[in-house]
Amino acid sequence: MTSSPYLQNQALKDRIITADQAAAHIKSGMLVASSGFTKAGDSKAVLLALANNTQNQAYQIDLVTGASLGHDTDGQLAQAGILRLRFPFQVDRTMRKEINKGSLYFIDQHLGETAELLKNGHFPAIDVAILEASKILPDGSFVPTTSVGNAAEFAALAKKVIIEINTSVTADLQGIHDIYPTGIYPGRSPIPITEASSRIGTTAIPLDTDKVIGIVWTDIPDSPADIAEPDPETSAIAGHILDFLHQEVEQGRLTKSLLPLQAGIGKVANSVLHGFADSEFEDLTMYSEVLQDSTFDLFDSGKLLFASAASITLSEAYQKRIFENFGPYKDKILIRPQDVTNAGEVIRRLGVIAINTAIECDIYGNVNSTHISGTHMMNGIGGSGDFARNSALSIFVTTSTSKEHRISKIVPMVTHVDHTEHDVDVIVTEQGLADLRGLAPRQRALRIIENCVHPQYKDELRSYYERACTLRGGQTPHILEEAFDWHRRLSSSGSMKKTVEQGCPTV
Amino acid sequence: MTSSPYLQNQALKDRIITADQAAAHIKSGMLVASSGFTKAGDSKAVLLALANNTQNQAYQIDLVTGASLGHDTDGQLAQAGILRLRFPFQVDRTMRKEINKGSLYFIDQHLGETAELLKNGHFPAIDVAILEASKILPDGSFVPTTSVGNAAEFAALAKKVIIEINTSVTADLQGIHDIYPTGIYPGRSPIPITEASSRIGTTAIPLDTDKVIGIVWTDIPDSPADIAEPDPETSAIAGHILDFLHQEVEQGRLTKSLLPLQAGIGKVANSVLHGFADSEFEDLTMYSEVLQDSTFDLFDSGKLLFASAASITLSEAYQKRIFENFGPYKDKILIRPQDVTNAGEVIRRLGVIAINTAIECDIYGNVNSTHISGTHMMNGIGGSGDFARNSALSIFVTTSTSKEHRISKIVPMVTHVDHTEHDVDVIVTEQGLADLRGLAPRQRALRIIENCVHPQYKDELRSYYERACTLRGGQTPHILEEAFDWHRRLSSSGSMKKTVEQGCPTV
């Protein structure tokens, strides 16, 4: 395979190796870093070679990425049993199982903090970084592919670097990256972003070529995003949010261009963003983590002016359509490091409207985003905390029930807290929207129960709250003896619903 | 009383009124704002007049401040029953009782966010602001006293303003304030602080004199801070922290000047700061909320170069000593708005070492800073969340037990979460220090149990953790049926300790 135009640095032309050869550089005990953010721009050859080739039973590495990897890589690494520690995020079914068995340590981190923690000595030094590039430039710097994530920090921090040059990526992506090092204290400067479209950095990631131990060629596209079609419940949630934003405009608290939008991955976020296409809102911007299919539909509808994120993660059909004709979008997108996209500093300054998904919420507005029944990890907190804490409006969405109403997503007390009452302004289910701004906990409880809870659970939740007020009182009334009764019932009977046999709990 | 040199603005000279006259301007239903941060620079006349004069049973106002008020003002307002809502912080025994009875709504807020929430429409407009000043300048701007807190934002946002000119404050304070408006989005700029000593604003608070409805004279000093002498437990905690910081320097992660320090109010913080006076550390700085007695001892020892905070809160002896001879400290202190001192942006940029107090911690490192037994408000989260989330090192301190060992401060699961595992790097009790950096939850549990728990509770906590791993497993093993057993025992028997009669819980 010819090295040009993908490999323009002379010194690196004789370092081309196979994925297996690259994997052989990774020794047991190492902290390994890989590019990749929400399945985009990840290592597609070396990590899989590592998973497939390692025979040594005692071989174990620690792995840090931007966020989730594609191509079943996390699953194969977990299956191979070669990970001791994984951070800061994952979405893999096999890996999740190993994490919850306790056979693989997982550190669930705010995605905006991982680079900060690495630079700050919370972890040992990175031994090897595996970074996907679309091109290496004459000076050794490289153009990333569909994500930046933590790649720039990994390139700077790692002792050794392996580059995967992915020839399947459209050359049109060159120029959309905005690489800005947040630096180390003391003496560092503000991140100078003042609007979603502020360009502050370079279009390639600087790299000390002396650290490069191998160049690996690949031509494998990113794993496609799952397609999540709207359903009546997600459409209802999207409708409530759009109505709410409409009222905010009417009351003069927002303009029709709103504030920069952030939306997590998934059906609801996609539904909301699609809803904007037919709305009164205009000249919208996004300051988010991930650009999904709906982002490009919003560009096409003329509603969206600009979008900033750490990655582009598209379905198969959109990958084909968008990347084959990227020109019209090129000046409207910046892909940046995740310690910039998720920087509290910038999110607070811009005043973002953040829409994230809850696993469960409680009557006071505390949110669990990560742990099923308080113990079992789902994916991780991701960037939801970075946005919820610092946004102008922090909105959490969930259906009011799941598993054919056997689970209420609004519970007396969440079994794990990722976002405290302080960081949750609005909760939305298909039942309705609870605007919690300016309310004390007892007021929040009444509004959440009234507006968001499924009718099958409303009476019991109201009863819990009222009895908690009478029996215990306090700023945040609870009956600790009963707070997790719904979860206990779910565990023993498969449903949170009270059966006749179970009767009333004694207090 | 002569108006000069305290009142230099011509237009305001004929607006001098009594506290009672000023209070009469405050009508039922209003949102009232008062200066004051940790008992410093608060309204000392008008709010008390309001508490004492109101006869109308239906009269109720909402009150927002910087933080806690001194002089029993919060207690008298609560006693008078004229508050409907209070935010964002309080420390008063009477007020706490009313809050926990549910007869007074309290919103517990990150202190760095209150101004942001007011500007952002989370609350109605402020009707009247009562602001303490040491001087009104010819252009109508005013020099604050011992705190800034939210006074500058209140002056800008309120429809009407009452100024309390406090003639007891030393004129030497003029020049130490650094008033910087953080502005509103879209289009706002970074807060340009790059070190604790960066001066970015003006020395007086701008004021539209047309809004001033009255000038009230007072000469009442701030309530003195309670003196908290070190005891063996707090000294042990301070010792563990100093040892830990020493190790961080030895390992090259910190220099001898450390990073800017933040310390909450109280015995432990005072002990730690006093410990620095005899330490190897030098050229220290503080980027904190409150400057306490210990700050001035550190200045006197030559260890501290500079301190930035929202207020100066001193004991009676220190008030006398420091304010009567303020000259030597004047160039070493900046007193700023609390949305600047507590700005996540600045805290993250500088890399602060934050030391805050926990009411209880759990084995995974989640911290409850506010709610006794999960229901009853103590004081509020204050600025602890602003600092814990954004600091370079987030340290939480607590004694391992209280009430003669009847309460363990390390529990299986906290009953209320203010700071999640993501925001807690180090936990310290008199038993020892748990450095949680780079650890997954199961590792965190073992380290916290081993290093921080009192011997009387260690076996049972270890048993809980081990059984949770076996029975439930997961990323964060818990047994929901038992998670609050210690709190239930406390509630029923007055002690968290297991008695023989209670036997083993069934699972």
How do residues A445-470 score in pLDDT, each as one tens digit?
999 999 999 999 999 999 999 999 99
A10-218 against A232-493: fold identical: yes
* C-alpha–C-alpha distance, residues A392 and A423, integer Å: 10
Alpha-carbon dihedral sign for residues A208, A211, A216, A222:
negative
Catalytically active residues of B are 289
CB count within 10 Å of CB B58 equals: 7
| DSSP string over B323-390 | HHT-GGGGGGEEE-BHHHHT-HHHHHHHT-EEEEE-SEEETT--EESSEETTTEE-S--TTHHHHHHH
Residue A234: pLDDT above 90?
yes
Q: What is the pLDDT of residue A2?
A: 47
pLDDT < 50 regions, chain B? 1-3, 502-507
Q: What is the pLDDT of residue B272?
A: 87
| Cis previous bond, B337, omega within 30 | no
SS (H, E, C) B442-507: HHHHHHHHHHHCCHHHHHHHHHHHHHHHHHCCCCCCCCCCCCCHHHHHHHHHCCCCCCCCCCCCCC
Say yes or no: ipTM exceeds 0.85: yes
* C-alpha–C-alpha distance, residues B379 and B108, integer Å: 8
CB spacing of A440 vs B101 below 8 angstroms: no
* β-pair type (A393-397, A353-357): parallel
Q: Nearest Cβ partner of A186 from B351, B390, B483?
A: B351
Chain A environment of B422 (Cβ under 8 Å): 108-110, 113, 381, 385, 418
What does the pLDDT average to over A364-390? Answer: 97
Q: Nearest Cβ partner of B480 from A418, A477, A487?
A: A487
CB spacing of B345 vs A350 below 8 angstroms: no
| Closest CA relative to residue B228, chosen from B181, B271, B275, B188 | B271
Chain B environment of A435 (Cβ under 8 Å): none
Domain segments of chain B as ranges: 10-218, 232-493
Identify the H or E element spanning B316.
helix B316-324
Phi, psi of B369 (to 5 degrees): -110, 0
Binding residue ranges of A for CoA? 264-268, 359, 379, 383, 403
Rg for chain B, CA atoms, rounded: 24
Contacts of A4 (CB under 8 A, 6+ apart): none
**For residue B347, what is the nearest residue in chain A, using CA coordinates?**
A345
Residue range B422-437, pLDDT digits in tens: 999 999 999 999 999 9
| Closest CA relative to residue B193, chosen from B348, B406, B354 | B348
Residue the block writes with tokens 């800005």: A180
As separate numbers, helices (DSSP H) first and strands (DSSP E) second, chain B gives: 16, 26
Residue the block writes with tokens 């949750």: A424
* C-alpha–C-alpha distance, residues B400 and A381, integer Å: 30
**For residue B362, what is the nearest residue in chain A, using CA coordinates?**
A416
Which CATH number fits the domain B232-493, given the four candidates 3.40.50.300, 3.40.1080.10, 3.40.30.10, 3.30.70.2740?
A: 3.40.1080.10
Contacts of A392 (CB under 8 A, 6+ apart): A259, A351, A352, A353, B120, B185
Residue range A6-65, pLDDT digits in tens: 999 999 999 999 999 999 999 999 999 999 999 999 999 999 999 998 777 899 999 999
* C-alpha–C-alpha distance, residues B216 and B132, integer Å: 9
The number of C-beta contacts closer than 8 angstroms across A and B is 223
B201 is in an annotated binding site: no
Q: Nearest Cβ partner of B473 from A101, A390, A415?
A: A101
Chain B environment of A345 (Cβ under 8 Å): 190, 344-345, 348-349
* β-pair type (A353-357, A407-408): unpaired
Distance from CA of A256 to the nearest CA of B (A): 13
Q: At what angle are helices B455-471 and B441-452 packed, to 10 degrees?
A: 160
| Contact indicator for A382, A111 with CB cutoff of 8 Å | yes
* C-alpha–C-alpha distance, residues A185 and B129, integer Å: 38
Q: What is the pLDDT of residue A500?
A: 54
Q: What is the pLDDT of residue A504?
A: 47
Secondary-structure class of domain A10-218 per CATH: alpha beta
Residue range A250-267, pLDDT digits in tens: 999 999 999 999 998 878
| DSSP string over A406-429 | TEESEESS-SS-SB-GGG--EEEE
Chain A environment of B110 (Cβ under 8 Å): 422
Residue the block writes with tokens 């379905």: A315
CB spacing of B344 vs A390 below 8 angstroms: yes
> In whole angstroms, how far apart are CA B231 and each of A118, B234, B268, B456?
37, 5, 9, 21
Helix (H, G, I), strand (E, B) or coil at A307: strand
Q: What is the pLDDT of residue A4?
A: 77
Chain A environment of B443 (Cβ under 8 Å): 105
* C-alpha–C-alpha distance, residues B483 and B479, integer Å: 6
Q: What is the pLDDT of residue A174?
A: 96
* Interface test with chain A among B371, B475, B488, B490, by most A beta carbons within 10 Å: B475
Name the band, by pLDDT with cuts 50, 70 and 90, for residue A230: confident
Q: Nearest Cβ partner of A375 from B189, B251, B473?
A: B473
* Strand runs labelled E in A319-423: 333-335, 353-357, 360-362, 367-368, 371-372, 376-377, 393-397, 401-402, 407-408, 410-411
Residue range A389-399, pLDDT digits in tens: 999 999 999 99
Q: What is the pLDDT of residue A377?
A: 98
**How open is the CA angle A442-A444-A447, to the nearest 5 degrees?**
115
Helix (H, G, I), strand (E, B) or coil at B135: strand
CB spacing of B478 vs A189 below 8 angstroms: no
Q: What is the pLDDT of residue B1?
A: 44
DSSP A114: H
Q: Which residues of A179-212 are buried (b: 16+ CB within 10 A; e: fewer)?
A: bbbbeebeebebbebbbbbbeebebbbebebebb
Residue range A432-445, pLDDT digits in tens: 999 999 999 999 99
| Contact indicator for B164, B218 with CB cutoff of 8 Å | yes
